[in-house]
Amino acid sequence: MSAATRPWGVALLAIFFLAATVILVGVALALLLPGSLMETVWLTYPERRAILISHRLWLAPAFLSLAAAMAAASIGCFKQRKWGWWLATTIFAVSGLSDASQIVLGHVAGGVIGVLVSGAILFYLTRPTVRAAYKS
């Protein structure tokens, strides 16, 4: 299947994973380099800096590891590889389980929205035409 016949959602997922990669690297660098220009990442959610900065020495490598997984998922989706399908499916399954745990912890609205979004993406990824778009 060529890029011209690629399901539109596969391209959107690849772009989503690419954006997630950039954001995760930016946050990791902001944690590793406090006081640098990377601090602008906190402008969108300044409360997060106060929560995360004290844990920066283990969170930064964790965010970089997540960024590597997101980059791999982006490449796998752009190239429509079967391993990219498995990685994307795994990422959204884990995300959905994480969101379900948020419901249990009392963050009902956010958890329900996350479960619904992850579920919808998993439903899309498991459609026969979409799954067939990913080749070995």
Q: Which tens digits make up the pLDDT trace of 9-44?
A: 999 999 999 999 999 999 999 999 999 999 898 998
Is the pTM higher than 0.85? The answer reads yes
- How do residues 53-83 score in pLDDT, each as one tens digit? 999 999 999 999 999 999 999 999 999 999 9
89-112 burial, b at 16+ Cβ within 10 Å, e below that, comes to bebbeebbeebbebeeeeeeeebe
Q: Where are the domains of the chain?
A: 7-79, 80-136
**DSSP-assigned states of every residue in 43-62:** GG-HHHHHHHGGGHHHHHHH
Question: Which residues are CB-contacts of 10 (< 8 A; sequence separation ≥ 6)?
Answer: 77, 80, 130, 133, 134
Q: What is the rounded average pLDDT of the residues 100-120? A: 96
